[in-house]
Amino acid sequence: MEPLEECLRLRVYAGESDQWERRQLYEAIVLKARNEGLAGATVFRSPMGFGATSRIHTAKILNLSTDLPVVVEIVDSKPKVEAFLGKLQEMMRGGMVTVEPVNVVHYAQGKKR
């Protein structure tokens, strides 16, 4: 992926207990993205949210949920993200997937100290 190349941000919204082939879905997506050679993937865990069922998932102590919301975010070139979408659709049962254009202005490996 080159800076200023036409890129897309792919976001997958799911629950942390969602599964794909005996793995947590978010983990399976990150591993699949790495195997497919995408630029990178990050998982964000949220303390609260709701989805299509409108059921609240929260980390509050009185309503402790074992299925907190997670977001997997991947940024790469438009062709690579579009190719990955087909593989991702096979993995998704619920949740939501969004894609939007982004401008990448810097992408490089950090130097080790």
Q: In the block, which residue shows the tokens 């939007």?
A: 100
**Cβ atoms of residues 76 and 39 within 8 Å:** yes
From CA 22, how far away is CA 16, in angstroms rounded?
Answer: 13
Residue count of the chain: 113
Q: Which is nearest to 24 in space by CA: 102, 99, 91, 85?
A: 91
Q: Which is nearest to 67 in space by CA: 92, 53, 52, 47?
A: 47
Mean pLDDT in residue range 88-101: 95
Predicted confidence (pLDDT) per residue in 57-70, tens digit: 776 665 555 678 99
Structurally, what CATH architecture does the domain formed by 7-102 represent?
A: 2-Layer Sandwich (3.30)
From CA 78, how far away is CA 94, in angstroms rounded?
Answer: 24
Q: What is the pTM of this model?
A: 0.84
Predicted confidence (pLDDT) per residue in 23-72, tens digit: 999 999 999 999 999 999 999 998 777 777 777 777 666 555 567 899 99
> What would the two tokens of residue 78 be?
């438009």
Q: In the block, which residue shows the tokens 């976001």?
A: 11
